[in-house]
Structure 1
Amino acid sequence: MSRIVIFGGTGYTGGNIAREAVSRGHQVVAYSRNAPAEPTSGVEYRVGSLADAEVVASAAEGADAVVVAVQAHDVDGAPLVQRIGAVVDAAVAAGARLGVVGGAGSLHVSEDGPRLVDTPEFMDEWKPEALAHADVLESLRADAGKADWFYVSPAALYGSFAPGETTGEYRTGGDVLVTAEDGTSEISGTDYALAFVDELEQRNHVNQRFTVAH
């Protein structure tokens, strides 16, 4: 059993990861700015912000893994890329692995193709979040191995607006969007969480970004 601390543990993705981890017998502590309306049995909830370096350092103590599952363009007044350094430092000090819930926008549509966020079809209102997530990924890659991290990009169609179905299966890729034969790219919240917790347990992508899709 591992002790897993999740920042954003009451949100859509963080909540799914918390439920999946608890179902496997892990000890889960979820941090958020507000107490959950519908808590998950077995999850310990604490109020605290990722923007508070003291909270982050305290939360990481004794943790086997620290998970960041928050929106990237605004974390209490600053983009996540300006907050992630304190999380990296806390994880390194605690000897914990760092797992980051990323975005799909920084994935390439093909080996030689543009990033998804740079295609004409990508909606303008999604770009600030997508680009903020891309900045976090670049920050981790520039870290030169200081932290033990991984970053998981979902499929193109992902989120609470499209929860999808639980299949218990997923496919993985690297920096290129994973698509079905008909060109679609989607993953349910529950199967994304399945892949995320599998990575926490199996360590298949050390200091790497990977993506998951049905």
Structure 2
Amino acid sequence: MSRITVIGGTGYAGSAIVAESAGRGHQVTVLSRSLPEAPVSGVTYLQGDASDEASLARAIEGAEVVVAALAPRGSLSHTFRDVNRTLARLVDAAGVPLYVVGGYSTLRPAPGADRFVTDLSGYPEQFHDEIRMGAAIILEDLPATPESLDWVFVSPALRFGAFLPGERTGSYRLGDEVAVAPEDGGAISAPDYALGFVDLIEKGEYHRAQVNIGH
């Protein structure tokens, strides 16, 4: 079993990853601004701000895998990329892999096609900055990290979020940077996304790559 640290482990995706990891017997540590109302048994929760480098360093000390499950909103609406760059630097120095909870908009509809983020006309304008900031992690920041950093950017399918919760089915489909087609299923619940996410961690087959989890 691995020692897994989840940065932002009380959010929608992060909490599901924490529950799945702990349920498989991994030793899980969470860093979050607030403690959960219903903590997962056996998980170590650290209360702290991800924008504070000392808090990040304390959380990842001794970890064998680090998960970034942060969102570019709220307190991170202006510092999201800086926080992720700092986290990547610390994880690289620790010599462990980094798995990042990504977004759907960074995927492509077909091989070689433009990514969805290049045309946000179908998204409400108030979310455009948030989407672009999240996309910059995989489009610019992670590829610019030293080759020594082993990262995997894990995008969910379309219609993923607390606004559309779903049940655990125990199944998922794995794609690359091309979106798992909605007409073939597409959506994914948090428990099934976490199932695929932790499978990726345990198998360790992807390196400096983007993958997509959908039904």
What is the TM-score of this pair, normalised by structure 2?
0.92
How much does 1:147 deviate? Answer: 0.8
SS at match of 1:42: coil
User: Which residue pairs with 2:135 in the alignment?
Assistant: 134
Q: Residues 143 and 186 from structure 1, CA distance in 2 versus in 1: closer, same or farther, beyond 3 angstroms? A: same
Asked whether the 8 Å contact 2:157–2:213 carries over to 1, the reply is: yes
Report the AA paired with residue 125 of structure 1.
Q
CA contact (8 A) 1:35 1:45 kept: yes
SS of equivalent to 1:177: coil
Runs of 5+ unmatched residues, structure 1: none
1:166-181 equivalences under 5 Å are 166-180=168-182
> SS of the counterpart of 1:163?
coil
Contact 1:110 1:176 survives alignment (8 Å): yes
- Distance (whole Å) between structure 1 residues aligned to residue 214 and residue 77 of structure 2: 32
- Give the helix-richer structure, 1 or 2: 2
- 1:77 & 1:164 partners in 2: Cα distance? 27
**Structure 2 match to 1:207:** 208
Structure 1 residues 166, 34: closer, same or farther in 2, change over 3 A? Answer: same
Aligned to 1:29: 29
Q: Distance in 1 between matches of 2:8 and 2:206?
A: 22
> Closer, same or farther in 2 for the Cα pair 1:132/1:197, shift >3 Å?
same
In 2, Cα distance between equivalents of 1:76 and 1:107: 23
Deviates more, 1:15-24 or 1:166-175: 166-175
Alpha carbons of 1:154 and 1:21: their partners in 2 closer, same or farther (altered >3 Å)?
A: same
Match of 2:160 in 1: 158
**d(CA) in 2 for partners of 1:159 and 1:109?**
20
Partner Cα distance (1:119, 1:184) in 2: 22
Query: Alpha-carbon deviation of 1:177?
Result: 1.3
SS of the residue 2:127 aligns to: helix
* Structure 1 residue 122 displacement after superposition: 2.7
Aligned AA for 1:32?
S
Equivalent residues of 1:80, 1:136 under 8 A apart: no
Q: Matches of 2:185 and 2:194 in 1, distance apart?
A: 20
Are the aligned partners of 1:73 and 1:132 in contact in 2 as well (CA < 8 Å)? no
Displacement after TM superposition at 1:55 (Å): 1.2
Aligned Cα root-mean-square deviation (Å): 1.7
Paired position in structure 1 for 2:86: 86
* Percent identity between the two aligned chains: 38
> 1:165, CA displacement in angstroms?
2.5
Shift of 1:112: 4.1
- Report the Cα offset of residue 123 of structure 1: 2.9
> Residue 36 and residue 213 in structure 1: after superposition, are their counterparts in 2 closer, same or farther (change >3 A)?
same
User: How many angstroms apart in 2 are the aligned matches of 1:208 and 1:50?
Assistant: 24
List aligned pairs for 1:34-183, cutoff 5 A: 34-73=34-73, 75-76=75-76, 78-117=78-117, 118-137=119-138, 138-180=140-182, 182=183
* Equivalent-residue separation in structure 2 for 1:170 and 1:101 (angstroms): 16
The Cα offsets for residues 137-168 of structure 1, whole Å up to 9 and x where unpaired, read as 12101224131111101101101111122111
Query: How many residues get paired?
Result: 213
Q: TM-score, normalised by structure 1?
A: 0.92
Unmatched 5+ stretches in structure 2: none
Contact 1:3 1:62 in 2 (8 A): yes
